[in-house]
Amino acid sequence: MKKVFSRPKSLIDRQTHFCPGCTHGTAHRLVADAIDHFGVQEETIGVSGVGCAVFMYDYFAIDAIEAPHGRAPAVATGIKRVHPKKIVFTYQGDGDLASIGTAETIHTANRGENITIIFINNTVYGMTGGQMAPTTLLGQKTTTTPYGRNFRNDGYPIRMAEMLAPLEGVAYSTRVSMHNAKEVLKAKKAVRRAFQMQIEGMGLTFVELLSACHTNWRVKPLEGQKRVEEELIPYFPLGVFKERKGKDFL
Amino acid sequence: MTEKILLKGNIALAKGAIAAGCRYYFGYPITPQNDIPEYLSAELPKVGGTFIQAESEIASINMVLGASASGVRAMTSSSGPGISLMQEGMSYMAGSELPGLVVNVMRVGPGLGGIAPTQGDYFQATRGGGHGDYFNIVLAPASVQEMFDLAIKAFELSDKYRNPAMILCDAILGQMKEPVVLEETKTVIPPLKPWALTGSKGRKPQFLKTLYLSDGEQEAHNLELKEKYDRLREEDVLFEAKGLDDSEIVIVAFGTVSRIAKTAIQMAKREGIRVGMIRPITIFPFPTEVIRETAKRIPRVLVVEMNTGQMLQDVKLSIESSVKLRFYGRPGGGIPTPEDMLREIRVMFNEEGF
Ligand SMILES: Cc1ncc(C[n+]2csc(CCOP(=O)(O)OP(=O)(O)O)c2C)c(N)n1
Ligand code: SF4
Ligand SMILES: [Mg+2]
């Protein structure tokens, strides 16, 4: 992959604990880029979910807190209500946001909390060793779907960006990918757009990033990117599902 | 002259929270504490505060966690089933050393139970309640005045120790009306919290966390928490002692039960039996020392609770095994009457060796 940007100022210069080639690292850069772009490093408070990205505070040079698994949107709500002028974002995996924290996600979105949610969809529970996630594709083998995900037993992969878009409180809902340089540039724009809309006070902004977990998919890093393109995108289409144009609240 | 006004316990508590400078309330409805959110939903906006009816008690406590992390005094209130859902969040608050007030207007359980008064959540409140090696600061009011006063005290202690505090009371205290003196002239200004997340302007970024993975880190953290709890036991035990000088029997009771015990003590006095009382006000930290010392002089202790014997355990840990200990409890909504207690007092009084 060609170098799309150099290390943003709000990222600490330090080796991460992510598996080499993991796109969590790319997503961190995208968020840090948006923070730098709007010059809000000293105005931003980050909330990490529990998952591979729990150590947000080790990598971002911003104020940050670790929320209980799935509760980041509720924690962010508390923070934003105290500091309505600050930029508040959560960074959550698919187990965190779309399984254990579904209620917090939906109701925070429905209240139109003026925060940004960065959602990493890698179709597995990375941190705990590759178990099925709510986003695991049908037929996908994980450590708890050894015969492949079967809808009769496990239900269907959940599409969060589409699900949240119709909620009145949601200002922006989009799905982007990071599997090649071109898509990373689009993803960068989407994250910036989400932060911009938060700065403008438009409501909840949601960016779903398709991410490869080649370690738990048990493939080589490059094959992981290929799988995103060939298997994930057909089920999780990229695009903008909602984008408010003004503060057109009801 | 300080004016007395007639107030319901739940309202006095809500007023106490506002007097303490709390401007953030997050909660989910449950009987018998709904007066608290209803009152605060009307009053907080008037003082520039925020009230959110959350989607669940899990969300409520995590909003409290987030607001508290941002440097303000924040609270929630609930009852049994809701308090159970908050245990995860309270464990995280204790772990990341965040203050905040949780009010438990107890209802009978287990399960959905009923709304009758009880003291059945004593264990959950005083043993930490969630996972991990931690404690809550727990205050047990026994009057409407104390619902107001201890709300303020709970915020003070919670900030002093950077640890969640709980007010443990029941529907009787929540619903009854009594005259209260409100110290409205004293506006409490919550302390500044240099550890709070405010954006990192003019300082280094800082963070709050509970995850400690490297060697020995978690142990060091837990030992620091222990030091805090030891300091609490040292500096901030609260209790009320009555008639201990010349009594032959000591009752230990907290909250609502201590009030009924006062009537029983009067009745016993008329029969010529002198009974004193120790009423723990903080049930964590527990007034171990005063109970131990008193029982050395008066080795007959009667514990009365609205449960099957929970505080009883703490009293047992406080006294020598030679002390005569008797327990009377009514669980599941049963309220001990003064006559019940007098009967127990008589039994103790007539016991051999008295
Ligand atoms: C209440 C609770 N249940 C379970 C866990 C264990 N756990 C930690 S991370 C995780 C899933 C993480 O997966 P995801 O959110 O998809 O993040 P990823 O690691 O894939 O980025 C689980 C189940 C926990 N920490 N807390
Ligand atoms: S386990 Fe998967 S998600 Fe976690 S760091 Fe490794 S590649 Fe990334
Ligand atoms: Mg995941």
- Taking the domains of chain A in order of start, what are their residue ranges? 24-243
Q: What is the pLDDT of residue A248?
A: 59
B250 and B288 in a single domain? The answer is: yes
Q: CA torsion B321→B325→B328→B331, rounded to 10°?
A: -20
B101 and B221 in a single domain? The answer is: yes
Choice between A58 and B188, residue whose per-residue pLDDT is larger = A58
Last residue in a domain, options B179, B200, B235 = B235
**Least CA distance to A110: which residue of chain B?**
B55
Q: What is the pLDDT of residue A245?
A: 86
Helix H, strand E, coil C: the string for B134-196 is: CCCEEECCCCHHHHHHHHHHHHHHHHHHCCEEEEEEEHHHHHCEEEEECCCCCCCCCCCCCCC
Full-model pTM = 0.97
Q: Is A67 on the interface with B (CB under 8 A)?
A: yes
B257 and B296 in a single domain? The answer is: yes
Q: What is the pLDDT of residue B188?
A: 81
Percent pLDDT > 70 in chain B is: 98
Which pairing describes strands B249-252 and B282-284: parallel, antiparallel, or unpaired? unpaired
Best of A56, A63, A86, A99 to substitute, by most chain B Cβ atoms within 10 angstroms, is A63
State the CATH number of the domain containing residue B91.
3.40.50.970
In tens, the pLDDT along A188-241 reads: 999 999 999 999 999 999 999 999 999 999 999 999 999 999 999 999 999 999
Cα A126 to Cα A140: distance, rounded to the nearest angstrom: 14
CB A86 to CB B198 under 8 A? yes
Contacts of A104 (CB under 8 A, 6+ apart): A70, A71, A72, A73, A74, B55, B58, B59, B62
CB A66 to CB B58 under 8 A? no
Q: Is A41 on the interface with B (CB under 8 A)?
A: yes
B215 and B315 in a single domain? The answer is: no
Last residue in a domain, options B200, B215, B235 = B235
B217 and B270 in a single domain? The answer is: no
B120 and B248 in a single domain? The answer is: no
Q: Over the range A38-53, which residues count as b (16 or more CB within 10 Å of their CB) and which as e?
A: bebbbbbbbbbbbbbb
B192 and B102 in a single domain? The answer is: yes
Q: What is the pLDDT of residue B353?
A: 59
Q: What is the pLDDT of residue B184?
A: 64
Last residue in a domain, options B235, B263, B286 = B235
Question: For residues A146 and A154, is the Cβ–Cβ distance under 8 A?
Answer: no
Ligand 1 proximity of A133 Cβ (cutoff 6 Å): yes
Q: What is the pLDDT of residue A55?
A: 94
- Domain spanning A24-243, CATH class: alpha beta
Residue nearest to atom 22 of ligand 1 (CA): A128
In tens, the pLDDT along B88-119 reads: 999 999 999 999 999 999 999 999 999 999 99
Q: What is the pLDDT of residue B3?
A: 81
Question: For residues A119 and A106, is the Cβ–Cβ distance under 8 A?
Answer: no
Q: Angle, to 10 degrees, between the axis of helix B217-235 and the axis of helix B144-161?
A: 140
Which pairing describes strands A239-243 and A170-177: parallel, antiparallel, or unpaired? antiparallel
Q: What is the pLDDT of residue B351?
A: 87
Range of the domain at B333: 240-350
CB B207 to CB A44 under 8 A? no
Cα A83 to Cα A78: distance, rounded to the nearest angstrom: 9
Ligand 2 proximity of A18 Cβ (cutoff 6 Å): yes
State the CATH number of the domain containing residue B309.
3.40.50.920
CB B209 to CB A66 under 8 A? yes
If one counts every other C-beta atom within 10 angstroms of the C-beta of residue B125, the result is: 25
Ligand 2 proximity of A19 Cβ (cutoff 6 Å): yes
Pocket test for ligand 1, best of A48, A125, A140, A211 (most atoms within 8 A of CB): A125
How many structural domains are present in chain B? 2
B254 and B225 in a single domain? The answer is: no
Q: Cα(A126) to centroid of ligand 2, in Å?
A: 5
Cα B282 to Cα B270: distance, rounded to the nearest angstrom: 31
Position A180 pLDDT exceeds 80? yes
In tens, the pLDDT along B108-165 reads: 999 999 999 999 999 999 999 999 999 999 999 999 999 999 999 999 999 999 999 9
Ligand 1 proximity of A207 Cβ (cutoff 6 Å): no
In tens, the pLDDT along A117-171 reads: 999 999 999 999 999 999 999 999 999 999 999 999 999 999 999 999 999 999 9
B227 and B254 in a single domain? The answer is: no
Ligand 2 proximity of A120 Cβ (cutoff 6 Å): no
Choice between B236 and A247, residue whose per-residue pLDDT is larger = B236
Cα A38 to Cα B121: distance, rounded to the nearest angstrom: 49
The number of angstroms, rounded, from the C-alpha of B138 to the middle of its chain's C-alpha atoms is: 4
Q: What is the pLDDT of residue B279?
A: 98
Q: What is the pLDDT of residue A4?
A: 55
Position A12 pLDDT exceeds 90? yes
B184 and B75 in a single domain? The answer is: yes
Q: What is the pLDDT of residue B34?
A: 97
Cα B160 to Cα B243: distance, rounded to the nearest angstrom: 32
Q: Cα(B246) to centroid of ligand 2, in Å?
A: 70
Percent pLDDT > 90 in chain B is: 95
Ligand 2 proximity of A212 Cβ (cutoff 6 Å): no
Q: What is the pLDDT of residue A249?
A: 54
Cα A201 to Cα B182: distance, rounded to the nearest angstrom: 40
Extract the residue ranges of chain B whose pLDDT is less than 70: 1, 184-187, 352-354
DSSP assignment letter at A99: I
B302 and B192 in a single domain? The answer is: no
Q: Confidence class of residue A5 from pLDDT cuts 50, 70 and 90?
A: low
Q: Give the minimum alpha-carbon distance from A139 to chain B in angstroms, rounded to a whole number.
A: 33
Q: Which of A82, A86, A34 has the alpha carbon at shortest distance from A63?
A: A86
Best of A11, A41, A45 to substitute, by most chain B Cβ atoms within 10 angstroms, is A45
In tens, the pLDDT along A74-99 reads: 999 999 999 999 999 999 999 999 99
B87 and B110 in a single domain? The answer is: yes
Token digits of residue A116? 């940004």
DSSP assignment letter at A230: I
Q: What is the pLDDT of residue B189?
A: 84
Which of A42, A63, A107 faces B59 most closely, judged by CB atoms?
A107
Q: Which atom of ligand 1 is nearest to the CA of A120?
A: 21
Which of B26, B92, B211 faces A54 most closely, judged by CB atoms?
B211
